Amino acid sequence: MRRIVAPFALLLASTACTSMSGEMPLSTATPEPMVSPILTGPEALDTLTYAQPQIARVTHVALDLALDFEGQGIGGTATLDVLARDDAREIVLDSNGLRIASVTDAAGRDLPFTVGEAVAEGGKGAPLTITMGDARTIRIRYAAPEDAEALQWLSPEQTAGGEYPFLFSQGQAILNRSWIPTQDSPGIRQTWEARITAPKPLDVVMSGVRQGEPEDLGDGRRAFRFVMDKPVPPYLIAIAAGDIDFRALGPRSGVWAEPSVIERAAREVGDTEAMIAAAEDLYGEYRWGRYDMIVLPPAFPYGGMENPVMTFLTPTFIAGDRSNNGLVAHELAHSWSGNLVTNAVWGDGWLNEGVTSYFENRIVEEVYGKKRAEQEAALAFANIEETLAEVGRDAPGTALHNDGSGELIGSAIAYDKGHFFMRTVERIVGRERFDAWLRQWFDNHAFEPATSALLLADMQENLVRSPAEAERLMLREWIFEPGLPSNVARPDPAAFAAVDSAVDTYASNGTIPAGWNGWTAAERMRFLDNIPKDRSAAQLAELDRQLNLSGTGNNEIRFLWLELALANRYEPAVPQAEEFLARVGRAKFVRPLFAVLMGEGEWGQPIARRIYAQTRDSYHAVTRAGVDRVLGIAG
Ligand code: BES
Ligand code: ZN
């Protein structure tokens, strides 16, 4: 396919290249991937890859893989195009458990390779070093290991239909090296293509554009072809396969899901075209062509994953009233923040998640109105405050920029503090100027990696107008200091005024709010978040009776209810929790529920162990690793 020919000045281009601003072509007319300069300053050094991109880097990946549902295996060939210094004789790739059968050049001549020592923990895996000589195309014949961390093979019983198996992948952050031999670093962008074969009648989707109709191979299998012609960080390569149907939503969007889920799924995401239009209005053209989604079985370990042209979603966001659609706005927003402009290192994850959380809120405001946006922002703000109170306002991990050494602190910092940083800047300089700045950030750094230092320099160059304004903005403090700067643009206290007073009333005299049925989902969550944590069985029974918490169709509400009930050792909630934990694998729900049980001593711990013995095998590696830690099981 395309070979990227670039001068080595670009391959080796140096650090925080703010001087690039305005010089990159804005046009997307050309399908040719732009070669991004690699940031090589210390803050852009990805310690989670073995790759040495300054010497040799992968520019294109061509996969030819067969899915084997019986053996739960995936294997075939990966052909890599390499851009390397003239004197480079080796290339280093990332591998986590890959079984390498052979490595050859384009002419089929064997190339020597070694797989180094694997790092025991953290999923970094091992370096796969190939002696390529002057070859610049290398073909690797391999199979993914049975327990490849990125992949989850579902039995038919784990699907809604119950008849066919299912497969999905999750690449972020460093899981794709368990099924694709390439340089698995967010700063090393690659175009890719794939040919995937699967047994009939299963359908395959990927985070690339499907090419034509699947080819019938005549042996009960079909071959599907995909192309991603824009350079993407390799964590965004994703696959799903199963008995799935498609519904168009609009001219460039649609949704895939199992046949029995497709109607509910399509109804829930019915605002997608409006969201794309709102997003484009805010920050510029959607550059990826189609925007499709797949609603996966409930084992999917996240709420959503922003795989290009094919967002992956949990079915647990479906509430029947679109109340959890911030999720769709969020994954869509990643088409700019994250997929166009990408954190160069995971310690700058806020550049993806924080900017996206802000952008999500702006889309929600456009599509669902100011009140809902402000309430969702207020929930995010409460999450920051709760987390800071828990870990301390000077805990180093509460800075937006992390060197990667600290513990990750939930979603409060990268997501919510990042969101409130953007919001604060917006309030200080005004929406018009802020939006213009963010739009040019996406345009000028499109298809490039970014760091905190680059964003700071970009704001100083393209946004800040005077030293006095710089002082008011406190940019450096926001990005590099722990805690919450004093200039934070707090949420409107009126957002939850009615709910907060209902909380006070309930706390003082036990009156359960009569207005609950008319409340928004965010209001209900605010109420359940803020009522006194210590509840008797009688009080919990009364709450459940009047608010029908155990019968709710909204899983965010169900989760808060189960958390509250289990924390109070409420027996009737145990079978509900058991059913939920057996069906749902979303880590955000599963991990905290096990943590609550483990916090309840001789009452909760045996329950947690009993349930986990039943459910562990049904969870994705991400969820399993999280719950293993909670239960003290060595990984
Ligand atoms: N990119 C993330 C999911 C992710 C984060 C995967 C870190 C692996 C490592 C995705 O966009 C996300 O943020 N999902 C949230 C959605 C929510 C904030 C609306 C989720 O899964 O809950
Ligand atoms: Zn996200």
**For residue 331, how far is its CA from the centre of ligand 2 (angstroms)?**
6
150 CB within 6 A, ligand 1? no
Q: Are residues 458 and 561 in the same domain?
A: no
**For residue 301, how far is its CA from the centre of ligand 1 (angstroms)?**
10
Q: Are residues 442 and 582 in the same domain?
A: no
Q: Given a cut of 60, is residue 7 above it in pLDDT?
A: no
Residue 5: band (very low, low, confident or very high) from pLDDT cuts 50, 70, 90 = very low
Would you call the peptide bond into 173 cis, given omega within 30 degrees of 0 as the criterion? yes
H helix count then E strand count, the chain: 19, 22
Give the Cα separation of 72 and 148 in Å (integer): 10
Q: Are residues 369 and 468 in the same domain?
A: yes
**For residue 363, how far is its CA from the centre of ligand 2 (angstroms)?**
14
Give the Cα separation of 152 and 141 in Å (integer): 22
With beta carbons less than 8 A apart as the criterion, state whether 93 and 100 touch.
no
Q: Are residues 470 and 548 in the same domain?
A: no
CATH number of the domain that residue 549 is part of: 1.25.40.320
Q: What is the pLDDT of residue 231?
A: 98
With beta carbons less than 8 A apart as the criterion, state whether 346 and 404 touch.
yes
326 CB within 6 A, ligand 1? yes
With beta carbons less than 8 A apart as the criterion, state whether 543 and 551 touch.
no
Closest-lying ligand 1 atom to the alpha carbon of residue 326: 19
Q: The tokens of 525 are what?
A: 């969550």
**For residue 153, how far is its CA from the centre of ligand 1 (angstroms)?**
21
303 CB within 6 A, ligand 1? yes
**For residue 341, how far is its CA from the centre of ligand 1 (angstroms)?**
16
Give 36-39's long-range contacts (Cβ < 8 A, gap of 24+): 36/189, 36/231, 36/447, 36/448, 36/449, 37/10, 37/13, 37/448, 38/11, 38/12, 38/13, 38/187, 38/188, 38/449, 39/15, 39/187, 39/344, 39/449, 39/450, 39/451, 39/454
Q: What is the pLDDT of residue 30?
A: 34
625 CB within 6 A, ligand 1? no
Closest-lying ligand 1 atom to the alpha carbon of residue 352: 1
Q: Are residues 454 and 557 in the same domain?
A: no
Q: What is the pLDDT of residue 406?
A: 55
CB-count exposure of residue 27 (10 Å: 0-12, 13-18, 19+)? exposed
Pocket test of ligand 1: the residue of 48, 295, 300, 305 to mutate, having most ligand atoms within 8 Å of its CB, is: 305
- The percent of residues in the chain predicted with pLDDT above 70, rounded, is 93
Q: Are residues 346 and 469 in the same domain?
A: yes
Q: What is the pLDDT of residue 407?
A: 58
**For residue 330, how far is its CA from the centre of ligand 1 (angstroms)?**
9
Q: Please provide the average confidence, as pLDDT, over all residues in the chain.
A: 93
Counting every residue, how long is the chain?
635
With beta carbons less than 8 A apart as the criterion, state whether 32 and 59 touch.
no
Q: The tokens of 223 are what?
A: 């071959």
Q: Whose CA is nearest to atom 19 of ligand 1?
A: 327
Given 459, 480, 501, which residue is the final one in a domain? Answer: 480
Q: What is the pLDDT of residue 41?
A: 83
Residue 492 lies in a domain: no
**For residue 307, how far is its CA from the centre of ligand 1 (angstroms)?**
11
330 CB within 6 A, ligand 1? yes
What average pLDDT score do residues 551-571 get? 98
75 CB within 6 A, ligand 1? no
Q: Are residues 342 and 436 in the same domain?
A: yes
Give the Cα separation of 153 and 170 in Å (integer): 12
Reduce the DSSP state of residue 544 to 3 states and report it. helix
Residue 331 lies in a domain: no
With beta carbons less than 8 A apart as the criterion, state whether 176 and 194 touch.
no
pLDDT in tens, 299-329: 999 999 999 999 999 999 999 999 999 999 9
How far does CA 515 lie from the centroid of its chain?
A: 35
Q: Are residues 459 and 547 in the same domain?
A: no
Q: Are residues 45 and 132 in the same domain?
A: yes
Residue 88: band (very low, low, confident or very high) from pLDDT cuts 50, 70, 90 = very high
Residue 309 lies in a domain: no
Q: Which helix (H) or strand (E) segment is 391 a member of?
A: helix 370-391
Phi, psi of 552 (to 5 degrees): -65, 145
Q: Given a cut of 70, is residue 565 above it in pLDDT?
A: yes
Q: Whose CA is nearest to atom 8 of ligand 1?
A: 172
Q: Given a cut of 90, is residue 515 above it in pLDDT?
A: yes
Domain that holds residue 168: 9-241
Q: The tokens of 264 are what?
A: 């509910």
Residue 33 lies in a domain: yes
pLDDT in tens, 34-69: 334 557 688 999 999 999 999 999 999 999 999 999
> Which ligand sits closest to the CA of 312?
1
Beta bridge partners of residue 104, listed in sequence order: 110, 139
Residues 6+ apart with CB under 8 A from 157: none
DSSP annotation of 357 reads H
Given 480, 499, 515, which residue is the final one in a domain? Answer: 480
Phi, psi of 485 (to 5 degrees): -60, 155
Reduce the DSSP state of residue 465 to 3 states and report it. coil
**For residue 411, how far is its CA from the centre of ligand 1 (angstroms)?**
9
Q: Are residues 467 and 543 in the same domain?
A: no
**Which of the pair, 371 or 403, is modelled with greater confidence?**
371
Q: Given a cut of 80, is residue 123 above it in pLDDT?
A: yes
**For residue 356, how far is its CA from the centre of ligand 2 (angstroms)?**
6
Q: Whose CA is nearest to atom 6 of ligand 1?
A: 172
Which is nearest to 176 in space by CA: 152, 145, 151? 151
Give the Cα separation of 436 and 463 in Å (integer): 9
DSSP annotation of 417 reads I
- The percent of residues in the chain predicted with pLDDT above 90, rounded, is 91
Residues 6+ apart with CB under 8 A from 237: 61, 169, 171, 176, 180, 192, 206, 207, 208, 228, 307
Q: Given a cut of 90, is residue 399 above it in pLDDT?
A: yes
Q: Count other C-beta atoms under 10 Å from residue 378's C-beta.
A: 21
Pocket test of ligand 1: the residue of 302, 312, 348, 350 to mutate, having most ligand atoms within 8 Å of its CB, is: 302
Q: What is the pLDDT of residue 31?
A: 33
Give the Cα separation of 462 and 138 in Å (integer): 42
305 CB within 6 A, ligand 1? yes
Closest-lying ligand 1 atom to the alpha carbon of residue 172: 8
Residue 164: band (very low, low, confident or very high) from pLDDT cuts 50, 70, 90 = very high
How far does CA 51 lie from the centroid of its chain?
A: 23
Q: What is the pLDDT of residue 360?
A: 99
Reduce the DSSP state of residue 421 to 3 states and report it. helix
353 CB within 6 A, ligand 1? yes
588 CB within 6 A, ligand 1? yes
**For residue 304, how far is its CA from the centre of ligand 1 (angstroms)?**
6
Q: Are residues 541 and 613 in the same domain?
A: yes
**For residue 486, how far is its CA from the centre of ligand 2 (angstroms)?**
26
CATH number of the domain that residue 386 is part of: 1.10.390.10
Given 241, 271, 305, which residue is the final one in a domain? Answer: 241
Q: What is the pLDDT of residue 10?
A: 33
> Which ligand sits closest to the CA of 585?
1
Beta bridge partners of residue 248, listed in sequence order: 254
Closest-lying ligand 1 atom to the alpha carbon of residue 306: 11
Angle subtended at Cα 549 by Cα 543 and Cα 550, rounded to the nearest 5 degrees: 120
Closest-lying ligand 1 atom to the alpha carbon of residue 415: 18
Residue 263: band (very low, low, confident or very high) from pLDDT cuts 50, 70, 90 = very high
CATH number of the domain that residue 87 is part of: 2.60.40.1730
Q: What is the CB-side half-sphere exposure of residue 496 using CA atoms within 13 A?
A: 27
Q: Are residues 45 and 128 in the same domain?
A: yes
Q: Given a cut of 80, is residue 477 above it in pLDDT?
A: yes
pLDDT in tens, 89-110: 999 999 999 999 999 999 999 9
Which is nearest to 244 in space by CA: 217, 218, 224, 274? 224
> Which ligand sits closest to the CA of 329?
1
> Which ligand sits closest to the CA of 363?
1
149 CB within 6 A, ligand 1? no
**For residue 415, how far is its CA from the centre of ligand 1 (angstroms)?**
9
Q: Whose CA is nearest to atom 11 of ligand 1?
A: 305
331 CB within 6 A, ligand 1? yes
Q: How many domains does the chain have?
A: 3
